[in-house]
């Protein structure tokens, strides 16, 4: 759908595991990465961010790609 309507190629990064830190962050209205940076969910988000950053550094500026 994104490639048809937005002219973008999307790549699935993977999910984020269920983690009590996410619920705690929502309840406290604080980013879970801030209150539990070593939680499974936070570490997964960090890995996804690293992948995105490596892609943007490696791809030409004129190519339309989103994650």
d(CA 1, CA 6): 8
- Phi, psi torsion values for 32, nearest 5 degrees: -65, -25
Parent domain of 9: 2-66
Contact yes or no for 26/19 (Cβ under 8 A): no
Band of pLDDT at residue 2, cut at 50, 70 and 90:
confident
Which pTM does this prediction carry? 0.71
- Give 6-58 pLDDT, tens digit per residue: 887 888 889 999 999 999 999 999 999 999 999 999 999 999 999 989 877 76
Confidence band for 63, pLDDT divided at 50, 70 and 90: low
| Number of separate domains in the chain | 1
């Amino acid at each position: 759908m994104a490639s048809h309507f937005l002219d973008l190629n999307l790549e699935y990064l993977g999910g984020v595991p269920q983690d009590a830190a996410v619920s705690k962050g929502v309840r406290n209205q604080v980013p879970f990465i801030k209150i539990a940076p070593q939680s499974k969910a936070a570490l997964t988000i960090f890995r996804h961010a690293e992948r995105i950053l490596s892609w943007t550094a490696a791809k030409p500026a004129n190519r339309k790609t989103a994650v």
